[in-house]
Structure 1
Amino acid sequence: MCDSRLFAAQDAAGVLVVDGFYGGASSMEGMADYALARLPDRFAMLGHSMGARVALEIVRKAPERVERIALSNTGVHPVQPGEREKRYRLRDIGREQGMERLVDTWLPPMLGPSVGANSELRERLRAMCLDAGLEIFEAQIEALLSRPQVDDVLASLDCPALSVTGEQDAWSPPDQHARIAQAIQGCLLRIVPSAGHMLPAEQPEAFNAVLGDWLAMPARETETTK
């Protein structure tokens, strides 16, 4: 349920954000196609949360277009036992009690303890999620529940890569990102203090500094045929 409002600090620094909630696509492949149609021929790619899974699908479909990749606050594991039921419980809250109740159930655990209950940031992110609406939320959980395995994509990555999360992210904790970094050759691992799942908005200066380290990583040499 995130759009460019999550990346306001990165947008101000010149980052192109693929907006529009993936056009309502209900599969990772469809979301990747939506993004690829709006991206330049070559790009450095940052994916956050579900967007990082979309980023890996983009690599699967068009590896020649990806110069480097950053995976933020995410996971690469397959669907876990009980996950379908948990996601559908949230969906049913939206269907039965309305979108406000769904967002007020879903959003608070996504934020680190440093984000106050009545803060401007929380209200901005709440408005973003409400604007997404139930139809978009349902499409996104269907995409997550039908997500493909990505072990082969991780193993194939030969570009500068970053695995980053917040120290207080209960959904995508540091040990999970350490495992992601281990699965990618030469991957940079960064854990940002005092941040939860909405890291780009919670600690924008620290997050942008991490992105700077990633962007400064030298491109890997590729073999050329003679």
Structure 2
Amino acid sequence: MTSQIVLLPGLLCDDAVWADQRGALGACFVADYGTRDSLGAMADYVLESAEGDRLLVAGHSMGGRVALEVFRRAPERVAGLALLDTGYTARAAGEAGENECAQRLRLLEIARTKGMRAMGKEWAPGMVNADRHDSEVYEAVLDMIERSTPDQFAAQIRALLDRPDATALLRDIECPTMIVCGRDDQWSPLARHEEMHARIRGSKLRVIERSGHMCTMERPDDVTEVLVEWARWATGSGSAR
């Protein structure tokens, strides 16, 4: 049986979000969601496109939710999961959920009227640590956002607003699972990852210090070390500490 590492980017991210990890992990399949507008459709595309019989699936942010949907559909194909700076619950009911919808649609309106980079400047400051707002990393995040289109943004917003709840799914995960979070992530806080760690039997939790939401770009060497450890664990060539 052949195995393949699958890397799933988050909202408005592309292969640049994994650039520093790909060299260490070897040949990987990096997803491009196009204008697919549901997490399920994204997961179906991954399963159709990835070539390995057994998949080591790593997802960052929205990509972590896609990874869970891949597992929901084909648990027998998933040899390992890595969930980075992500979540697992559905959109909240009531006022909280309406507020989330309104905030996302406000950003979409900026993207349509002023352009993707202008929207990124509104959105991205909370995605990296404040001390990196004048850094090359921050500019790389803005560049990545600018490479997407408002139509892609709209599709991914629909996918996130309609996201399924994966709470019950977590207890079914038995493959080697690494949960990773930036210590200072404001979008997907550490407490949420501690909950996932508690719900997934045998999972490992790794906290990336001095990092916000974009841990793969903010602290690339630290994240690469964790993912190499995970890949060895999932393939039986080593064990997680």
- Common topology (TM > 0.5): yes
> 2:197 is paired with a residue of what secondary structure?
helix
Whichever residue aligns with residue 221 of structure 2, its letter is E
Equivalent-residue separation in structure 2 for 1:99 and 1:116 (angstroms): 18
Q: Which moved more, 1:9-18 or 1:54-63?
A: 9-18
2:72 maps to which residue? 60
Whichever residue aligns with residue 209 of structure 2, its letter is P
1:223 maps to which residue? none
For the 8 Å contact 1:111–1:197, the answer to whether it is kept is yes
1:32 matched to 2:49? The reply is no
RMSD, matched Cα? 1.6
Shift of 1:91: 1.1
Selected match of 2:141 from 114, 125, 128: 125
Whichever residue aligns with residue 64 of structure 1, its letter is E
> CA-to-partner distance for each residue in 1:53-103, whole Å, 9 max, x for gaps?
000000011111100101000011210222111111111221233222211
TM-score (norm 1): 0.91
Equivalent-residue separation in structure 2 for 1:72 and 1:190 (angstroms): 9
Distance of aligned partners of 1:15 and 1:77 in 2 relative to their CA distance in 1, 3 Å threshold = farther
Q: Which moved more, 1:187-196 or 1:107-116?
A: 107-116
For the 8 Å contact 1:18–1:38, the answer to whether it is kept is no
Shift of 1:15: 4.9
1:102 matched to 2:119? The reply is yes
Selected match of 1:141 from 157, 160, 180: 157
- Superposed, which structure 2 residues align to 1:105-184 within 5 Å? 105-117=122-134, 119-184=135-200
Whichever residue aligns with residue 76 of structure 2, its letter is E
Query: Which consecutive residues of structure 2, in runs of 5 or more, have no partner in the other structure?
Result: 1-11, 237-241
> 2:71 is paired with a residue of what secondary structure?
helix
1:85 maps to which residue? 102
TM-score (norm 2): 0.85
Equivalent-residue separation in structure 2 for 1:198 and 1:50 (angstroms): 12
> 1:24 is paired with a residue of what secondary structure?
coil
Equivalent-residue separation in structure 1 for 2:143 and 2:29 (angstroms): 18
> 1:87 is paired with a residue of what secondary structure?
helix
Aligned identity (percent) is 38
> 1:208 is paired with a residue of what secondary structure?
helix
Selected match of 1:2 from 10, 13, 17: 13
Whichever residue aligns with residue 175 of structure 1, its letter is A
Whichever residue aligns with residue 81 of structure 2, its letter is I
Shift of 1:124: 1.9
Equivalent-residue separation in structure 2 for 1:141 and 1:192 (angstroms): 27
| Stretches of 4+ aligned residues off by more than 4 angstroms | none
How many residue pairs get matched?
218
